[in-house]
Amino acid sequence: MKANYGYMDGSGEYYITIDTDHCNDCTDHPRVGACPVGMFEIIVDDYDDEVAAIKEENRKKVKYDCAPCKPVTGRPPLPCVEACPADAISHSW
């Protein structure tokens, strides 16, 4: 399942997509600790699978919470994307 957390507003679409089908294959979920803001969490979804998700309190401000990892120039690889061994995470912006 591709879970799209975030929002769109007049300035664009700000979604973090997590392909939760890959979460079952992963036991230690390294990306959860990789985010400097700590916006990831592990939840049990409606199908009793342990999957990664964006915390409720971060979903409405992902654009701003992710800003420190997205400088205008010389953008380094995103820590959350780098930490996920299954390439299960992507950002829309």
Binding site for other proteins (CB under 8 A): 1-10, 13, 15, 45-47, 59-61
Looking at beta carbons only, is 25 or 28 nearer to other proteins?
A: 25
Euclidean distance between CA atoms 64 and 5, whole angstroms? 14
Q: How far is the CB of 1 from other proteins (least distance, A)?
A: 6
Please answer whether residues 16 and 91 qualify as being in contact, where contact means their C-beta atoms are separated by less than 8 angstroms.
Answer: yes
Euclidean distance between CA atoms 83 and 78, whole angstroms? 9
Looking at beta carbons only, is 1 or 82 nearer to other proteins?
A: 1
The C-alpha angle with vertex 29 and arms to 66 and 17, in degrees rounded to 5, equals 45
Nearest to 14 by CA among 52, 56, 60: 60
Looking at beta carbons only, is 47 or 73 nearer to other proteins?
A: 47
Q: How far is the CB of 59 from other proteins (least distance, A)?
A: 5
**One-letter amino acid of 89:** I
Q: How far is the CB of 41 from other proteins (least distance, A)?
A: 14
Looking at beta carbons only, is 30 or 60 nearer to other proteins?
A: 60
